[in-house]
Amino acid sequence: MDERDHVPISVSIKSNLYKDSVALMRIGQIVLAREGVQRVTLLMGTPANKAILASAGLFTDALDAARPGDVMMSVEAATSELVDAALAEIAGQLDGSERKAQLPGEAAAIALRSIAMGRVRADEAALAQISVPGPYAAAEAMKALRQGMHVFLFSDNVPLEQERAIKTLARKKGPKASVR
């Protein structure tokens, strides 16, 4: 018998909640810093992410129902109480009832919610990192390109015709704008 057989693991699904992978990793790292928490995984319910969980030994039948627009949560900790506390903290971070996730020593800042807000805060900004659901990604990328920024587009399911339009606009803008 493996000693991991005695370590409490819990999985759950938060339905109809899109979060980009960077936000999920940030929350996971904050919760992982808790004493006694050994693994925290937060992923969207895509088939690829389910395969990742399966290969890590964290996938259970309870996650079968997760859809691409759902967050799958997996926590492993030293005790059931620590698992419950970690899941409660994750839920609070996801629904906004707890303060914004911050790493130790990180200053609080107002979340930027648009390309325009980013430009106001940092007019010299040259790069927009876009990570939103595919149907909204092209509009955000086009806004950034029109403002002369380079675009790092980290979204999937962007329709091919929209991706072509983004790249065409970037080429027209010349070396001052590009898409990666």
> Which domain range does residue 60 map to?
3-95
Specify if 102 maps to a domain. no
- Decide which of 67, 95, 123 is a domain's last residue: 95
CATH code assigned at 28: 3.30.70
Residues 89, 14 within the same domain? yes
Q: With CA atoms as reference, report the closest residue to 74 among 14, 157, 136, 150.
A: 14
How many domains does the structure of the chain reveal? 2
3-state helix, strand, coil in the chain (%, to 5): 45, 15, 40
Q: Based on the fold, state whether residues 172 and 136 are members of the same structural domain.
A: yes
| DSSP β-bridge partners for residue 37 | 77
Confidence of residue 2 (pLDDT cuts 50, 70, 90): very low
Which carries the bigger pLDDT value, residue 96 or residue 13?
13
pTM of the model: 0.59
CATH of the domain at 151: 3.40.50.720
User: Is residue 102 pLDDT above 70, yes or no?
Assistant: no
Directed axis angle between helix 160-173 and helix 134-146, to 10°?
A: 10
What's the pLDDT tens digit per position in 115-147?
Answer: 777 777 777 778 888 887 788 888 989 998 988
Interhelix angle 21-32/80-95, rounded to 10 degrees, is 140
